[in-house]
Amino acid sequence: MCQYGGCRDIPLLRDDIAGHMPVFHHGGSASRALGDGDRPKARAQLAATPAKLRAHWLGEQTGLFDGDDWDTAIAAGHRAHPGRSMIAEGQ
């Protein structure tokens, strides 16, 4: 996922990245808990991870782009990266 050049300002990418953050935070909490020797807390953090991702996975499974979202996302990507093409010409 793009982390530079204004990509996080594109609503579609911003929202998709946001869907990953709860799992990122649960993983960090679990890792810190393990470092502190707190296995029950680490297990609890990891056990909560699938529920945090369920809705996000569903969105990815059914498709990120709906209707005009594709054209909007491509146009925003081109604005964020002038002179670069997000998809090959003719596709």
CA distance 66 to 87: 18
Lookup: tokens for 77: 């990507």
Cα–Cα distance for residue pair 78/34, rounded to 1 Å: 43
pLDDT (mean) for 84-91: 53
Confidence check: pLDDT of 74 > 80: no
pLDDT digits 0-9 by tens, 11-66: 777 777 777 888 888 889 999 999 999 999 999 988 888 887 776 776 666 666 55
Are the C-beta atoms of 77 and 64 separated by less than 8 Å? no
Q: What is the pLDDT of residue 80?
A: 75
- What are the structural domain ranges in the chain? 7-80
